[in-house]
Every structure is written in C-alpha cells, then in structure tokens.
C-alpha cells in the first residue's frame, strides 16, 4: 500500500473541511477502500477517519413523519439487528445480513456500503490496463473478457460492471433518501438518483459532488413490513457477491396487490428498480401468471454479455420467488 | 470494557511491554520457560532466531525503515507512537498510518497468533475482537483503533487455562493444519455472544424474531467468514455446538 497521511476527524464540520484537501478520501469501515488501496486501484494520499465523528451519524432514530433515519456511520451489523429496522424494515435487515461476513458487517458502515465500488475483476486487477472505471479512456477489458458476473441492464460500451451492494437494493425498493453534507451545504438525494449508470463516465459511481459526505439514510414510513423479502442467488451459500438478487416489497389487500416495489441487484451499474413489473402487479390479484408476466417485463430490455445470458432467466425466477415469499411468508426466508 | 480482557500473562510471551518498551525488550522471549506450549515455543524460537537481525519485529522505539513505494508517494506521514490495548496490555508502537491492525499485531507487537491469510478480507484468518466485536484485522488501520480493547487468540485463555472453545476445538479435532484456527476461535467466541444477544442471520426464519436455537445452519452461516482449507468445518461446527450447549460457555459467551 502506498504511504498515506491520516487525520482523525472529531466533528462533522471538521470532516467536511478536511475532506476538501487534494487527494483526501474519507474512511469509515475501510473494508472496501483499504482493499482497493492494497491493490493499487484507489490511491488516496490522505485518509480522513470519520469513525469518531459520532452524534447523529452514529445513531438510528425515528423521524417525525414516522420514518427512520439511519446514521451513515452505523455498522451494517448494527443496522441489520436494530429493533426498529428488524420490525419495520425487515427487507433491509435481510439484505444487510445477506452481504459479506459477520466480521465485515461489524466493520462496514451504511455510508460506506453505499460507496462500495464494483467487484468487476478487471477493475480490481491493475494488470489489465483497459478499465474505463479505473482509468478513463483506457477501454473495457471485461467486454472481451469473462463476463459471467457482469451487467445485463443499463450497461454502456464503456463499462459493463455491476454494483455489488445488497443493502442498496433494499434501499432502492424502500424509496430511501440519502442525506449528504458538503462544501455547499446539505442536500437530500433519492436513492434512485444516488447511483449512476455508466454511460460515458463509468469512473463516476454516484452523483455525489466533490467533498460531499453521506450523513444518513432516511427511510419513509414503513408500508411493507408485513410483506417483504430479499432473495440472493450466489455461487456459494454464504459470503459471496450476488449473481442476481431481488428485493420485493408488497402492500396486500387480501389476495390483491395494492402496491409493489421490486429492485434487482447484480444486474446493473446501480440497483435496478423494476418499475414496469411493479405497475403490472399493482391492482391485480397475485396469480402465478401475473407474477411471471411481471418478471418477464422486468427483464424485457436485458442485453446480456457473452457469458451471462443465464442471468435473464435467473433474475426472472428470483423475482417470482421473492414476490411469492413476500406475499406468503412475512419476514421469512426461502 | 478492557477490564474484561485483562489477562495475567506469563512473562514468556514474546512481546514488549508497553510504556517501558526498550529496544532490548524484544529479546525477553528467548528464555524458554517451563510449561511452554508448542505455539509459544515456536514463537519464542522464531524470535530467538531473529534477534540481531530482527527483521520481524520492527523496532518499537524507532521509526520503521522506509519502504520502497512506486510511484513516490506525496506527503507520506512518518511513523508516530500509536497506543493499543491488546489482551489487557498497553502497547505503544511506532506506526505509519498505513500499517494495518493485523501487521501491527504481528510485526510490531510481536503477537504472531493472529494469522495473515489472504490479507484482503476474504478468509477470516486475521479475525480479532475489537471491543468484543469480531473484525478482519487486515482491512483496518491500527491507528483507527487507539482506545479500543483488542483481543487476539493469545488473549482467549485466562490465567493459563484455555477457554471453553479452545478446549472444544481440541476435543472435537476442529483443525488440521491450524492456520485458520486463531481466526476461527476469535470468530466463534464472538458468535456465542452475538447469538446470546439475540442477533439474527441470513438463515434465520424471520428477522423479526430471535432465532429459537443455534442450529447447525446458524453456526455455519455465522462462521462463513472463516475459511478452512483443510475442510475441518464439520468438527468446527461440532465444537461451537458443544460449547453453546454446555453450561461451560463461561466468559466466551460474553466476549
């Protein structure tokens, strides 16, 4: 790892000020950043340790509207096991618990999870010179490489990488809002606008501006606590990134779907909301045919790479399973 | 918190002690005491073999030798004293900011029990407890842990008596080569505490309810962050199950 300098921020104002230094990077849990630094993929010259900022950033609290504010520094394990998250947002608990290992969840923060970079092996391995995400304009080794784990939706000629987060998929289904503060003050970013599609700038994962720091994630009042389910399909039973994942949340009126929220992981450069599928389910009885048709609609625009055509059918099956589980087995796991 | 981890370590451990560390203190381990465990013997032997050249333990009271970096790093911060509480003892180590907790434990504090496997957060061999929480020491900087109580495998035994999990690992033959074992032990120690606190996992039937029992599926999932290339998993699960099921859980369950 390159030599670095280190500064421990003790309050939010100081953290934001320090974060504007050239070459500075915030560090929270460090589980992704230090990994990237060891591989020479990220090369900050200074780390601003925000883990001692404390205050609101480290707490989970109810909001006046009945929602929940999860501080950016709350560790993934603490968020997943918080009584209010488990009770009102079981989908978020499930997604968090599906990610990484107990050790990593004890380290990783909610804000850091949002900032996770892709696990595309060509991005991670600097022996491959071509990576537009790592080195803009250099090309994309993945397109001609082994593309089994790559995107089937929303990719560009410049980048076919996928976002690796489980948590963010649940947040997308739950219509979370990311709160940030920076040199120009505070602002709120709907989760759907927080992560980007690669387009011409795959080097940019998010819409954060220079120097901005995530302070919290706001969850709207819970509508889906009774009918929500996260399905993760991976190459081994635990401790692996998703090939495909699905967060499904339903409001049911008897056997009829009142409203549906469906988001996919492992298929795109950002958590992928399946709006068309949601609309097909809403207002209709939850029949096998309706669910299958909705799943098909979710993948209608899929454009597979050479090695990942299987993901289209896999994602459809995962949607069917997630929706059925959400409807029938509240909080349950397949 | 650190009170829970204070150990009355015998003096044979190859560590420099805290505030009084002097360059010569790294040689204290060369005296092999009676009742030396195999691990301690190997550790002591290794330390003895390197006295003089001492490439293994970077000087405790001098800045670490400059290391080649490419490209030249701008504004590299020099080593500075970092105080860590490890197994109830205070260590003041001269560390560059980039030194991971794992390297600080092994190469600077001389505690070789914690193992470096992948060094990238994928194997769990480096698992230690920070304020009782299990973490991968390879993916965190030592300087970020000032003020926390770190427990390594060397700190699991109390007054020379192995912890219930350590005894169970031996009893159930829960290792072959042993390289992953320190991480497995620290991880399992935390697991018992986490389960007692009512945490859920991805195999729990309903995240809204406390899992009724620590099933083998729960143990496997909760231990999935610790890989074992020898494949001793079945016996590791048996050891964890045995300690959980016994009244002997003792301090391990609270760590």
Q: Does B207 touch chain A (CB under 8 A)?
A: yes
**Angstrom distance (rounded) from CA A137 to CA A212:** 25
Residues from chain A contacting residue B77 (CB–CB below 8 Å): 3-6
Question: How many Å lie between the alpha carbon of A157 and the closest alpha carbon of chain B?
Answer: 30
Contacts of A222 in chain B (CB under 8 A): none
Question: pLDDT category, B12, cuts 50, 70, 90?
Answer: very low
B132 and chain A in contact, CB less than 8 A: no
User: Chain-wide mean pLDDT for chain B?
Assistant: 79
A44 pLDDT more than 90: yes
Mean predicted confidence (pLDDT) in B241-254: 68
Mean pLDDT of B195-209: 97
Look at A102 and B222 and tell me if their CB atoms are within 8 Å: yes
Chain A residue with Cα closest to B71 = A2
Give Dmax over CA atoms of chain B in angstroms: 59
The answer to whether the Cβ–Cβ distance between B135 and A101 falls below 8 Å is no
Mean pLDDT score, B76-87 = 93
Average pLDDT over residues B156-178: 97
Of B33-42, B67-76, B97-106, give the range with the top mean pLDDT. B97-106
- Minimum-distance CB partner of A104 among B121, B141, B209: B121
| Complete DSSP assignment for A278-334 | HHHHTTSB--HHHHHHHHHHHTTT----TT-THHHHHHHHHHHHHHHHHHHSTT---
- Confidence bin at B174 (pLDDT 50/70/90): very high
Confidence of residue B10 (pLDDT cuts 50, 70, 90): very low
Q: What is the per-residue pLDDT for B74?
A: 52
Q: Is the pLDDT of residue B71 over 50?
A: no
Q: Determine, for residues A102 and B97 on separate chains, whether the beta-carbon distance falls below 8 Å.
A: no
Which tokens belong to A137? 């304009």
Comparing C-alpha atoms, which of A227, A238, A233, A230 is closest to residue A313? Answer: A233
Using CB atoms, which residue from B98, B194, B202 is nearest to A4? B98
- pLDDT interval class at B155 (50, 70, 90): very high
Instruction: Copy the structure tokens of residue A260.
Output: 């549906």
Closest partner CB to A103 (pick from B67, B127, B203): B127
Quickly state the pLDDT bin for A328 (edges 50, 70, 90): confident
Of the pLDDT bands very low, low, confident and very high (cuts 50, 70, 90), residue A41 is very high
Assigned CATH class of A1-52 = alpha beta
Q: pLDDT band at residue B68, thresholds of 50, 70 and 90?
A: very low
Residue written as token pair 């009782």: B132
Position B6 scores a pLDDT of 37
| Greatest pairwise CA separation for chain A in angstroms | 61
CA distance B78 to B81: 10
Percent of chain A past pLDDT 90, that is, above it, reads 97
Average pLDDT over residues B110-125: 98
The full set of domain ranges for chain A reads 1-52, 228-328
Cβ atoms of B125 and A34 within 8 Å: the answer is no
Predicted local distance difference test score (pLDDT) of residue B13: 37
Q: By the 8 A CB rule, do B244 and B192 touch?
A: yes
Neighboring chain B residues of A107 at a CB cutoff of 8 Å: 135-136, 139-140
Domain A228-328 in this protein, CATH class: alpha beta
Does the beta-carbon distance from B224 to A2 stay under 8 Å? no
Alpha-carbon A300 to chain mean position: 22
Q: Are A234 and A259 in contact (CB under 8 A)?
A: no
B213: buried, middle or exposed (CB in 10 Å: 19+, 13-18, 0-12)?
exposed
Please name the helix (run of DSSP H) or strand (run of DSSP E) that holds residue B185, with its range, or none: helix B181-196
For the stretch A123-163, pLDDT in tens is: 999 999 999 999 999 999 999 999 999 999 999 999 999 99
- B73 CB neighbours in chain A (<8 A) are 2-4, 45
**Fold matches, A1-52 and A228-328:** no
Nearest-angstrom CA–CA distance, B179 and A163: 33
Cβ A106–B133 below 8 Å, yes or no? yes
* pLDDT band with cut points at 50, 70 and 90 for residue A299: very high
Q: Is B100 helix (H, G, I), strand (E, B) or coil?
A: strand
Kindly provide the residue ranges of all beta strands, DSSP E only, lying in B108-234, ordered along the sequence: 127-130, 133-136, 149-151
- Tell me the chain B residues in contact with residue A3 when contact means C-beta distances shorter than 8 Å: 67, 69, 73, 76-77, 96, 98
User: Distance between CA atoms of B190 and A244, rounded to whole angstroms?
Assistant: 30
The 10s digit of each residue's pLDDT in A275-293 is 999 999 999 999 999 999 9
Contact A47 B141 (CB under 8 A): yes
Q: pLDDT digit string (tens) for B130-145?
A: 999 999 999 999 999 9
Structural domains of chain B sorted by starting position, each given as residue range(s) with its CATH number in brackets: 2-61+78-155 (3.10.20.30), 164-254 (1.10.150.120)
User: Residue B175 in contact with residue B117, Cβ under 8 Å?
Assistant: no
- Answer whether B124's CB lies under 8 Å from B229's CB: no
Residues from chain B that touch A23, judged by Cβ atoms under 8 A, are 74
Banded model confidence at residue B75, pLDDT cuts 50, 70, 90? low
- Is A6 close to B100, i.e. CB distance below 8 A? no
- Average pLDDT on A5-26 reads 97
Nearest residue, CB atoms, A331 vs list B119, B199, B208: B208
Q: Taking residues B103-120, what's their average pLDDT?
A: 98
Contact A222, A123 (CB under 8 A): no
Contact assignment for A3 to B221 by CB distance below 8 Å: no
| pLDDT at residue A184 tops 50 | yes
């Amino acid at each position: 790892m390159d030599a670095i300098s280190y500064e421990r921020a003790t309050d939010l104002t100081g953290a934001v000020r320090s974060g504007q230094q050239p070459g500075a990077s915030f560090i929270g849990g460090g589980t992704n950043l230090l990994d990237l630094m060891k591989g020479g993929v990220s090369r900050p010259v200074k780390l601003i340790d925000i883990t001692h900022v404390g205050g609101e950033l480290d707490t989970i609290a109810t909001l006046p509207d009945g929602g929940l504010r999860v501080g950016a520094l709350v560790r993934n394990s603490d968020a997943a096991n918080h009584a209010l998250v488990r009770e009102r947002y079981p989908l978020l608990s499930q997604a968090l618990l599906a990610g990484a290992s107990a050790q990593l969840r004890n380290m990783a923060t909610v804000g850091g999870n949002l900032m996770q970079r892709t696990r595309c092996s060509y991005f991670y391995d600097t022996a491959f010179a071509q990576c537009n995400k790592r080195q803009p304009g250099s090309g994309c080794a993945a397109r001609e490489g082994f593309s089994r784990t790559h995107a089937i939706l929303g990719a560009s000629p410049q980048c076919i990488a996928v976002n690796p987060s489980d948590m963010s998929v649940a947040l997308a289904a739950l219509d979370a809002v990311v709160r940030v503060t920076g040199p120009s003050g505070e602002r709120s970013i709907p989760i759907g606008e927080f992560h980007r599609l690669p387009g011409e700038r795959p080097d940019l994962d998010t819409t954060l501006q220079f120097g901005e720091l995530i302070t919290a994630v706001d969850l709207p009042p819970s509508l889906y606590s009774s009918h929500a389910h996260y399905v993760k399909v991976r190459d081994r039973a635990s401790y692996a990134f998703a090939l495909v994942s699905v967060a499904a949340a339903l409001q049911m009126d008897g056997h009829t779907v009142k409203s549906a929220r469906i988001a996919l992981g492992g298929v795109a450069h950002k958590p992928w909301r399946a709006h068309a599928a949601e609309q097909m389910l809403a207002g209709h009885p939850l029949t096998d045919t309706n669910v299958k048709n909705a799943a098909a609609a979710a993948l209608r625009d899929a454009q597979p790479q050479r090695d990942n055509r299987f993901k289209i059918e896999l994602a459809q099956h995962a949607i069917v399973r997630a929706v059925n589980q959400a409807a029938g087995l509240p909080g349950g796991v397949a | 918190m650190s009170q829970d981890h204070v150990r009355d370590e015998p003096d044979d451990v190859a560590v420099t002690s805290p505030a009084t560390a002097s360059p010569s203190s790294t040689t204290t381990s060369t005296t092999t005491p009676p009742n030396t465990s195999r691990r301690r013997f190997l550790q002591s032997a290794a330390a003895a073999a390197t006295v003089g050249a001492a490439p293994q333990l970077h000087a405790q009271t001098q800045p670490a030798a400059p290391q080649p970096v490419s490209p030249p790093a701008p504004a590299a911060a020099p080593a500075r004293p970092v105080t860590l509480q490890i197994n109830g003892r205070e260590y003041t180590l001269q560390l560059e900011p980039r030194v991971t907790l794992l390297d600080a434990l092994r190469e600077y504090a001389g505690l070789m029990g914690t193992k470096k496997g992948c060094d990238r957060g994928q194997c769990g061999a480096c698992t230690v407890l920070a304020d009782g929480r299990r973490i991968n020491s390879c993916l965190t900087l030592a300087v970020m842990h000032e003020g926390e109580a770190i427990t390594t495998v060397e700190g699991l035994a109390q007054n020379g008596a192995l912890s219930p999990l350590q005894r169970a690992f031996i009893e159930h033959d829960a290792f072959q080569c042993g390289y992953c074992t320190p991480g497995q032990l620290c991880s399992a120690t935390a697991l018992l505490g986490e389960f007692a606190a009512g945490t859920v996992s991805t195999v729990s039937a309903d995240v809204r309810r406390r899992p009724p029992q620590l099933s083998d599926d729960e143990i496997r999932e909760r231990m999935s962050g610790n890989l074992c290339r020898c494949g001793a998993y079945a016996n590791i699960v048996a050891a964890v199950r045995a300690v959980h099921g016994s009244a002997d859980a003792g301090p391990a369950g609270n760590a």
